[in-house]
Amino acid sequence: MAAATPEGIAARLIQLRTVYQSARFERAPSPEEICEGTKISASTLRDYESGKSIPGGLAVVELCYLYECTADWLLGIPPVRQR
């Protein structure tokens, strides 16, 4: 995981931006459909996809239901290796 330095935080936001955009394009909902299906405003969704902000817990849950994915995947957390 990236360190909590300005560079590490910037790298993490770029990674999350890519995940959110991929999720939307794979599932094909329009931004309007996402906003209608969640309590997320259009400007907030743009902030997530541009890397300006990271969604809180409720937004993650709503996006996971809408995108039919896990929170780990949406947050870009790699799978834990089994021993």
CATH number of residue 16's parent domain:
1.10.260.40
Q: Is the pLDDT of residue 2 over 50?
A: no
Which residue range forms the structural domain that includes residue 58? 6-74
Domains identified in the chain, total number:
1
pLDDT score at 72: 84
User: How much is the average pLDDT of 10-31?
Assistant: 70
Per the confidence metrics, is the pTM higher than 0.95? no
- pLDDT higher at 22 or 61: 61
The model's confidence at residue 32, banded by pLDDT at 50, 70 and 90, is confident
DSSP letter for each residue of 11-73 = HHHHHHHHHHHHHHHHH---HHHHHHHSS--HHHHHHHHHTS----HHHHHHHHHHHT--HHH
Assigned token pair, 14: 């770029």
38 domain-assigned = yes
1 domain-assigned = no
Task: Answer for the pair 41, 35: CB distance below 8 angstroms, yes or no.
Answer: yes
